[in-house]
Every structure is written in C-alpha cells, then in structure tokens.
C-alpha cells in the first residue's frame, strides 16, 4: 500500500498580514464597486465583493484615509488579491477603521458606594 504524506504549504510572504474588516471602494476601468478589505499587509490586500476585476487589471483601492493603486494578482469566488503599487502601514489603516467602533464599545460600571456607580 502506497503512503501519501501531506505537508502544510510553507508561508512565502515576506510581510505580515493583518486581519481587517474595512469597508472600501475598488475602482477600475471606469467601474467602482463596494468591497471589504479582509486582510492587508504592507504591499498587498485581500478584498471581498460581489463583482471584482480580472487578474492583471489595474485598480484603485479607496477607504477612509487610504487611496492606493494596485494590480489584481489572483481572483476567486467573491474575492481577489491585490499587489499594491507602494507600501502602506497596515496598522494605521486598521486603527483608523476601528476609531469609529470605539464609541460603540460597552462600558463597565463599578459600584463605588451603595446605589452609586462610576
């Protein structure tokens, strides 16, 4: 009986990816579509959307305080990978996207004396 050994594919990316949920617009060839950036690195991004460009298409990714050109390097069902034309700071982009969520964060009250909370 022949034995098959499966190994995990080695991570070849040089730069760390950061998980995200950033609403954005993807524009190409006179078309703009809403997308969500699901992860981002210094030179790349994974975007998810209903209608996306083909591999090789030059695009512009626009989000809050982000506008960067790139090229679609792979395409799958409702998602594609972008190679960005210049370096971005993923932490700054993700941080900016979560600033508005901070107002919706739950607060914790502590009883400082009977019937009084702070």
Could you list the residue range(s) of the whole structural domain that residue 36 is in? 18-94
Residue 33, domain member (yes or no): yes
Residue 107, domain member (yes or no): no
Reply yes or no on whether the pLDDT at 10 is more than 90: no
CA proximity to 26, closest of 83, 68, 78, 87: 68
For residue 60, the domain's CATH number is 2.40.10.220
How many domains in the chain? 1
Bridge partners, residue 58, by sequence: 71
Could you report the per-residue pLDDT of 64-103, keeping only the tens digit for each?
879 999 999 999 999 999 999 999 999 888 885 543 333 4
Residue 118, domain member (yes or no): no
Could you report the per-residue pLDDT of 22-81, keeping only the tens digit for each?
999 999 999 999 999 999 999 999 999 999 999 999 999 999 879 999 999 999 999 999
Residue 6, domain member (yes or no): no
Residue 51, domain member (yes or no): yes
Residue 70, domain member (yes or no): yes
pLDDT of residue 99: 37
């Amino acid at each position: 009986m022949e034995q098959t050994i499966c190994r995990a594919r080695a991570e070849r990316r040089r730069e760390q990816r950061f998980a995200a949920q950033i609403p954005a617009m993807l524009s190409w060839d006179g078309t703009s579509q809403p997308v969500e950036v699901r992860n981002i690195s210094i030179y790349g991004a994974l975007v998810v959307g209903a209608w996306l460009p083909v591999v090789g298409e030059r695009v512009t990714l626009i989000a809050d305080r982000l506008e960067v050109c790139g090229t679609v390097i792979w395409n799958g069902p409702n998602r594609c990978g972008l190679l960005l034309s210049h370096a971005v700071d993923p932490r700054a982009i993700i941080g900016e996207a979560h600033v508005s969520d901070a107002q919706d964060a739950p607060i914790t009250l502590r009883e400082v004396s009977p019937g009084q909370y702070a």
